[in-house]
Amino acid sequence: MLTVLRHRDYRHLFFAQVVALVGTGLATVALGLLAWDIAGDRAGSVLGTALAIKMVAYVLLAPIVTAVADRLPRRTLLVGSDVLRGGVALALPFVDQVWQVYALIFVLQAASAAFTPTFQAVIPEVLPDERDYTRALSLARLAYDTESLLSPALAAALLTVTGYNWLFVGTSAGFAASAALVVSAALPKGRRSGGGDWGCTRAKATAGTRLFLATPQLRSLLLMNLAVATAGALVLVNTVVYVRDHLGLTVGDVPIALGAYGAGSMALALLLPAVLDRTGDRAVMLTGTLALPAVFTGAVAVTLAGTGDWRRPVLLATWAAFGAACSAVLTPVGRVIRHTTGPADRAAVFAAQFSLSHACWLAAYPLGGWLGAAFGLPAAVLTLAAVCLASALLAVRAWPARAEGAREAGEGHTRLRTGLSPAGR
């Protein structure tokens, strides 16, 4: 898998992603401590609102920013986004009002909504070989999972020698390093629209979503995103409830349970390049999707059981299985988008994937959290399991086997389906 790092430009972009992820992880820890300083025992509500603002920014802004941003050189957009995110990180230690936190978080996430889809759309052009791109996707999955495990540990180590405000400085340094690495890479030139009226911009902003609805593989991907979000919401929202309240374990068991989820995801990401070479995207992704409702049976068993020492290892195994199944779905996403869109539409479709997948998470988080708080953990897990099962079955139906080999990368074909004329580009 690491052989793909021999490509100089991809290597620089990959490490730009890594240092930005580490910086983001430090900011997550620091933001919680900042919220406590400002709001005290209301810190949880502040963080919950900040998370909602993040999701809303991703859902609403990614397609719009991508539609407007194609008038800019890619390097300018990526570096400008990193500079803006770094500036916000440096400003956060100086705020003393909750509304200021919300405003800065919105700006930061708006910059991320511009950066991430553009970055994702560049990689398949930097790595035109299918095998290289597949390995790059697995490497990116590993980077996300490793960051979720290592950033909290790094933050904890830094907090032993300095205050949490310096974590924001580390975040800014990560974005600065990311910008420098992007500058050092040779990026393919994207198509620039050169202007256009509001109607053209609006059409481009919705082009990716319309492609999702018009393409069988992408319609299926939208349903798979919802299935993944139900499983992820159960893990991320309710792990602390399972560990502390339902199982009566210690605080130290919370990161162990979350680590099991990450370990499952990482283990499968290491295996996927060889599997994808043999079986293709559809078999891997739909297998992972159908596995998710099956894994929910383990969560249901732990939830409904009142006692038993067996519950802890079953919970860890269930969380690891969730991580592996989610990785099977999420890792090949870039391949599916590459196969079903041409270069002219790719940034719009990556933006739509970014937006629509986060819309699924925005729906799943309340199901996992509010239902559990209002009606108990069994109601939350059974509801999430039902939504997951329905999504998985619909995803299988939406992606017929005959569509597996389709390579709809012709530029004229995608323009016809999005309804955009060449002048609209």
What are 123-166's pLDDT values in tens digits? Answer: 998 998 888 998 998 898 888 887 777 777 788 788 888 888 99
26 and 158 both lie in a single domain: yes
Note down the domain range covering 349: 196-419
- Among 276, 242, 275, residue whose Cα is nearest residue 258: 242
Residues 372, 233 within the same domain: yes
Q: Which of 290, 292, 388, 280 is nearest to 332 (CA)?
A: 280
Q: How many domains does the chain have?
A: 2
What is the pLDDT averaged over residues 191-205? 55
Same domain flag for 300 and 368: yes
CATH number at residue 331: 1.20.1250.20
Q: Which of 136, 154, 183 is the last residue of a domain?
A: 183
Residues 172 and 100 in one domain: yes
pLDDT of residue 423: 31
Tell whether 89 is covered by a domain: yes
Claim to verify: residue 203 and residue 148 sit in the same structural domain: no
The pair of structure tokens assigned to 8 is 């100089």
40 backbone φψ class: left, alpha, beta (φ>0; ψ -120 to 50): left
Residue 425 lies in a domain: no
10 Å CB burial of residue 254 (0-12, 13-18, 19+) is middle
Contact 233, 384 (CB under 8 A): yes
Bigger pLDDT: 307 or 273?
273
Q: Which two three-digit tokens encode residue 219?
A: 């319609």
Sign of the Cα torsion 157, 44, 354, 286 reads positive
Last residue of a domain, which of 130, 150, 183? 183
**How sure is the predictor about 315, in pLDDT bands with cuts at 50, 70 and 90?**
very high
pLDDT higher at 133 or 36: 133
267 and 400 assigned to the same domain: yes
Q: Are residues 176 and 215 in the same domain?
A: no
Residue 371 covered by a domain: yes
Report pLDDT digits (tens) over 336-371. 999 898 887 888 888 889 889 999 998 888 888 888
Whether 21 and 52 share a structural domain? yes
For residue 271, give every residue at least 6 positions away whose Cβ sits within 8 Å of its Cβ, in sequence order, or none: none
Q: Please tell me the distance from the alpha carbon of residue 220 to that of residue 288, in angstroms, as a whole number.
A: 13
How far is the C-alpha of 112 from the C-alpha of 61, rounded, in Å?
A: 10
Cβ atoms of 379 and 76 closer than 8 Å: no
Asked whether residue 109 falls in the same domain as residue 24, the answer is: yes
Answer whether residue 115 is part of any domain: yes
Which string of DSSP letters, residue by residue, matches 286-331? Answer: HHHHHHHHHHHHHHHHHHH----TTHHHHHHHHHHHHHHHHHHHHT
Please, which residues have CB within 8 angstroms of residue 89's CB and are 6 or more apart in sequence? Answer: 23, 27, 108, 168, 169, 171, 172, 175
Last residue of a domain, one of 126, 160, 183: 183
Let me know whether 57 and 136 are in one domain. yes
Task: Provide mean pLDDT across the span 363-390.
Answer: 89
For 261-293, write each residue's pLDDT tens digit: 988 999 999 899 989 988 889 999 999 999 999
Mean pLDDT of the chain: 85
